[in-house]
Amino acid sequence: MTSPRFSFTLHATDGKARTGTIAMQRGEIRTPAFMPVGTAATVKAMKPEAVRATGADIILGNTYHLMLRPGAERVARLGGLHKFMNWPRPILTDSGGYQVMSLSELRKLTEKGVEFRSHLDGSKHMLTPERSMEIQRLLGSDIVMAFDECPRADRPKDEIASSMELSMRWAKRSREGFDSGEEHAARAALFGIQQGALHEDLRRISAEKLIDIGFDGYAVGGLAVGEGQEAMFATLDFAPDMLPEDRPRYLMGVGKPDDLVGAVERGIDMFDCVLPTRSGRNGQAFTWNGPLNLRNARFAEDTGPLDDRCACPVCTTYSRAYIHHLVKSGEMLGAMLVTEHNLSFYQALMQGMRDAIAAGRFASFASDFRRDYLHAKA
Ligand SMILES: [Zn+2]
């Protein structure tokens, strides 16, 4: 029996929280899922087999970075992103739209797309919905994201509205571009992205337009762009409900452990964020009792593990004192160990949420989590 192109099966719901499985040809994705970010064809400081050992079913790759270096055509000639980086499981690629707006220079936005200069060497590029679909196809992406524009949430409402309308026209062109790649389209999935910032009426219009086009999954975009957790949760109180129940819902670019719990509580199934890896390189460890800054002198002679509730290879082997020393000395092993622990912690948090939803005890899981994580002494 061949694996399906894409299927999503819900196993249990508890309040708005859901747990299920996405099945794809390269493997299954347990939801709620956290996707480590592999920006430049690497989850920084981690070998792919170690990423898998943390419990990750899927990773994210960045179209913007990969199109500039090493280039999508080159990755395709080398056999695709999975082979190139030795990650045989599903990969989701973003569309490049968000990073063009946040990283590149001299952008020119038109109906056609975005013209920009590379932040690496100043070279000129054009990203359109069609080119974004082509790049994600060349990379061999399993879950392709529609090309959109993500404005800051604090822009005036009329700007947010016209940006959302543009993104919806681009979503239609993304659908057509994706479908034109017949062989790839037969084994990959395409997600649409809801926009509309914090506005309920715009979010509803966006959802309706996306559903009309039809996607395998739906992302809530345009959040985690500086609006703060309270405003994000207020939007998540209504935005996911507008998206089809029988499709996965993906909150892009989120977030802190307490963001993940609050978003799952509001019906989100998938996440990605650089936080566990970036923090790992900065000596910040996430634990069930809140984040720890390993640079702090109080860890200099602490023989305990990063987290005494964590079963990861770092916590069963190395002391806070040793990791403090590595981080203080700028040793790369410090970044590697804290990253590995952080990704393990994030996956353990997702597993904890999946188990709690399946057992119908998500509310108590969430309140226990908040008691320990948010009320811990930093
Ligand atoms: Zn650990």
- How close is the Cα of 54 to the center of ligand 1, in Å? 10
Q: What pLDDT is attached to residue 74? A: 98
Q: What pLDDT is attached to residue 2? A: 65
> Which residues neighbour 70 within 8 Å (Cβ) at sequence distance 6 or greater?
41
Q: What pLDDT is attached to residue 377? A: 52
Instruction: Please count the other Cβ atoms lying within 10 Å of the Cβ belonging to residue 55.
Output: 17
- Residues forming beta bridges with residue 251, ordered by sequence position: 220, 271
Q: What angle do CA 156, 157, 161 make, to 5 degrees?
A: 125
Annotated binding residues for Zn(2+), written as ranges, equal 310, 312, 315, 341
Measured CA to CA, the distance from residue 269 to residue 247 in angstroms comes to 9
Q: Which residue has the tokens 């993304």?
A: 174
pTM, whole model, 2 decimals? Answer: 0.97
- Residues forming beta bridges with residue 127, ordered by sequence position: 114
Query: What is the signed CA dihedral for 297, 301, 306, 308, rounded to 10 degrees?
Result: -130
Annotated binding residues, written as ranges, equal 94-98, 148, 195, 222, 310, 312, 315, 341
- How close is the Cα of 70 to the center of ligand 1, in Å? 33
Measured CA to CA, the distance from residue 161 to residue 199 in angstroms comes to 9
- How close is the Cα of 24 to the center of ligand 1, in Å? 29
For the stretch 40-87, pLDDT in tens is 999 999 999 999 999 999 999 999 999 999 999 999 999 999 999 999
Q: What angle do CA 70, 76, 37 make, to 5 degrees?
A: 60
pLDDT by residue for the chain (378 residues), tens only, comes to: 567 999 999 999 999 999 999 999 999 999 999 999 999 999 999 999 999 999 999 999 999 999 999 999 999 999 999 999 999 999 999 999 888 888 877 789 999 999 999 989 999 999 999 999 999 999 999 999 999 998 888 899 999 999 999 999 999 999 999 999 999 999 999 999 999 999 999 999 999 999 999 999 999 999 999 899 999 999 999 999 999 999 999 999 999 999 999 999 999 999 999 999 999 999 999 999 999 999 999 999 999 999 999 999 999 999 999 999 999 999 999 999 999 999 999 999 999 999 999 999 999 999 999 999 998 654
> Which residues neighbour 326 within 8 Å (Cβ) at sequence distance 6 or greater?
333, 334, 337
- How close is the Cα of 309 to the center of ligand 1, in Å? 8
- How close is the Cα of 352 to the center of ligand 1, in Å? 15
Q: Which H or E element spans position 347?
A: helix 332-358
- How close is the Cα of 344 to the center of ligand 1, in Å? 6
Annotated binding residues for substrate, written as ranges, equal 94-98, 148, 195, 222
Residues with active-site annotation: 94, 272
